[in-house]
Amino acid sequence: MTVQVIETQPIEGQKPGTSGLRKKTRIFMQLHFLENYVQSIFDGIDGVEGKQLVVGGDGRFFNDQAIKIILRMAAANGAKACIVGQNGILSTPAASHLIRKLKTDGGLILSASHNPGGENEDFGLKYNGPNGGPANEGTTDKIFERTKSITSYKILASGDLDLSQIGTTQVGNMQVDVIDPITDYADLMEELFDFDAIRSLFASGFSLRFDAMHAVTGPYATEVLQNRLGAPQGSVVNATPLPDFGGGHPDPNPIWAKELMDCMYSDTAPDFGAASDGDGDRNMIVGKSCYVSPSDSLAVLADLAHLAPAYSAGLAGVARSMPTSGAADRVAEAKGIPSFETPTGWKFFGNLLDAGKVTLCGEESAGTGSNHVREKDGLWAVLLWLNILAKKRISVTELLKEHWQRYGRNYYSRHDYEAVETEAANSLMNDLRRRLTDLPGQTIGALTVARADEFAYDDPVDGSHSAGQGLRVFFDNGARVVFRLSGTGTQGATLRVYLEQLETDPSALDHEPQHALADIIAAADQLAGITARTGRNGPDVIT
């Protein structure tokens, strides 16, 4: 098969964000757009000649076509082999696991995560390195630089591939292994957790509803929860992955997973509810009439992970992203283990995990994971919760109450203002940044500012410096508000406002978070002039 060298020129807007490149699907489908970016990835990692790559995605519209283009390009660029999930399917954590297990040179993951899918919705592509984790900033910078100077890309002239049959084929001189995407991952879960304990929990009548949101975790959850652990048939709902996720927004939070929330807050709620996102790395945990915030979930898991076999020796340390609440820090402190605060983005956890400094990581954006892979992992989080509940035999509500009584409660909420005009969002942030040094001592409504800064991170492993990671304002009563612009949106800007207040009074642990945080919410608006500058009366999404 002939290698074609196609002339091209740089295309604007190929800067990777928090998690790879995300754009409208139609943009990815434009002439040369995908090809330019794939060639830039290959060039940014010093070529793929002789290398092995894992390739897979969350099954959204354009997934299979894009994979076929990537395979023809990998072959033309001299790759030795590509390992591809059957029908192009691999959840993000399963891809991370395969990269590690097969010791490949990394992989390409096709997903826009929790963003809607379809011809008129979103698509994405990212490169993960040989450790199985998202490329670090140094590599993504190189890839971006290449997108600005590219003049040609290589692709095999033809080769229609069949990704539906498990087995080995050739594309040009490159070997393509189409593999079952589920088994390796399910086996890994079985190594980490006490499946016998979880099986007997289900056998005792414990009920579960796992909402796969028509996305990639459907087949994974069906295999693990129903087939291997004995949860009743029908426990996994919306289990068939669809190219447009059934028209939904596959983001496991109380807004987008409303169907599950309604069920969990009804009289017929099962004991445990959970959901995952488009590509299977996020999770939501909810008990009977009891939503568990991602920050609390991380803290509970850090506290009780030792009940699962893989973590029985205890944790080396815990890491959280800066906007995530400090609840996990309090657990780490009590256990005498280190805690780390990183910028938003799972890629920052990779070095800490590789260096053995932490075992568990988590983010307010519904991501939790451990050193078993180098991505966050939705189904893993669900299984760790189930393992803990199987050992403790108490409800989610009781578990949370116990936790708050012991450690205090970090009341927490995130307010998102979506698709804000980019100029307005930038000037809001720039103006606030300029005023940060004047804020300490100022009284804002009921609160007084203690200190304010812009978060920057010095990686303790490789010494790299990441600046501009969010504006933080701390108040003298211990409350905190953080302002950040999202790095994953595809339309205008998304302003994220993260609100937090620690409460240790045992009689004040049962308030509704929006109520408990009312003063901080008002102060945040006053500080940044959100209503005035965005013209919005309130956030679009509250988590």
Q: How far is the CB of 486 from ligand G6P (least distance, A)?
A: 3
Backbone CA torsion sign across 506, 511, 515, 520: positive
Residue 378-417 contact track with ligand G6P, rule CB under 6 A, x = bound: ----------------------------------------
Among 40, 365, 387, 490, binds ligand G6P (CB under 6 A): 365
Q: How far is the CB of 487 from ligand G6P (least distance, A)?
A: 4
Going along 346-479, which residue ranges are E strands? 360-363, 367-370, 409-420, 443-444, 447-454, 457-458, 465-466, 471-475
Scanning the structure block, which residue is given the tokens 């005035």?
532
Do 194 and 390 touch, CB atoms closer than 8 A?
yes
Tell me which stretch binds Zn ion (CB under 5 A): 203-211, 271-279, 304-312, 454-462: 271-279
Closest CA to 22 of 113, 95, 90, 84: 113
Q: In terms of C-beta density within 10 A (0-12 exposed, 13-18 middle, 19 or more buried), how is residue 105 classed?
A: middle
Q: Determine the Cα–Cα distance for residues 30 and 27; give it in Å rounded to an integer.
A: 5
Contacts of 328 (CB under 8 A, 6+ apart): 295, 298, 299, 302, 318, 320, 339, 360, 362
Q: Determine the Cα–Cα distance for residues 217 and 380; give it in Å rounded to an integer.
A: 11
Q: How far is the CB of 367 from ligand G6P (least distance, A)?
A: 6
Among 11, 14, 16, 18, binds ligand G6P (CB under 6 A): 18
Among 277, 303, 363, 459, binds Zn ion (CB under 5 A): 277
- The helix (H) or strand (E) run that includes residue 89 is strand 81-89
Tell me which stretch binds ligand G6P (CB under 6 A): 37-45, 60-68, 474-482, 483-491: 483-491
Among 363, 377, 500, 525, binds ligand G6P (CB under 6 A): 363
Site for ligand G6P in 312-351 (CB under 6 A): 344-346
Q: For 308, which DSSP code?
A: S
Residue 95-124 contact track with Zn ion, rule CB under 5 A, x = bound: ------------------x-----------
- Please report whether residue 118 would count as binding ligand G6P according to CB under 6 A: no
- The number of beta carbons lying within 10 Å of the beta carbon of residue 275 is 31
345 binds, among Zn ion, ligand G6P, none (CB under 5 to 8 A by kind): ligand G6P
- Please report whether residue 486 would count as binding ligand G6P according to CB under 6 A: yes
- Phi-psi group of 400: left, alpha or beta (phi > 0 → left; psi -120 to 50 → alpha; rest → beta): alpha
Cβ closer to ligand G6P: 293 or 486? Answer: 486
Mode of pairing for the β-strands spanning 122-128 and 107-110: antiparallel
Q: Catalytic pick from 40, 91, 96, 113?
A: 113
Q: How far is the CB of 188 from Zn ion (least distance, A)?
A: 18
Query: Is 310 strand, coil or helix?
Result: helix
Cβ closer to ligand G6P: 107 or 367? Answer: 367
Is residue 321 annotated as part of the catalytic site, yes or no? Answer: no
DSSP 178-224: EE-TTHHHHHHHHHHS-HHHHHHHHHTT--EEEE-TTSTHHHHHIII
- Please report whether residue 375 would count as binding Zn ion according to CB under 5 A: no
Do 252 and 213 touch, CB atoms closer than 8 A?
yes
Among 223, 279, 375, 377, binds Zn ion (CB under 5 A): 279
What is the token pair recorded at 41?
Answer: 């990835």
- Please report whether residue 488 would count as binding ligand G6P according to CB under 6 A: yes
346 binds, among ligand G6P, Zn ion, none (CB under 5 to 8 A by kind): ligand G6P
534 binds, among Zn ion, ligand G6P, none (CB under 5 to 8 A by kind): none
Cβ closer to ligand G6P: 367 or 539? Answer: 367
Catalytic residues: 113
Residues forming the site for Zn ion (CB under 5 A): 113, 277, 279, 281-282
Residues forming the site for ligand G6P (CB under 6 A): 18-19, 113, 344-346, 363, 365, 367, 486-488, 496
